[in-house]
Amino acid sequence: MRGKVNQAKVLAENEEENFVDTRFPSNGKLNLNELLHRRKEEKRIENNLNLKIISGVGAVAVIVILIISF
């Protein structure tokens, strides 16, 4: 049993290292254009999520108002 736990820990550590390796360049230099593009993409995703949340809250508010009015 202990071997499986240790194996799972090693696999988890390797996945974290692979994520860092693929997320950042290996040459040590940061490409400003790439960072700006990444931030723009994150902002687009956040805006989309915010729109969905606001739409959901608005829909619930309309339903509650309709239920209360009858």
**Model confidence at 2: pLDDT above 90:** no
Backbone Cα Rg of the chain: 23
Q: What's the structural domain count of the chain?
A: 1
- 31-54 pLDDT tens trace: 899 999 999 999 999 999 999 999
For the chain, the average pLDDT equals 83
Q: Are 2 and 8 in contact (CB under 8 A)?
A: no
Cβ within 8 Å of residue 31, ≥6 positions away: 25
pTM score, two decimals? Answer: 0.54
Domain encompassing residue 50: 2-69
| Per-residue pLDDT, 43 | 97
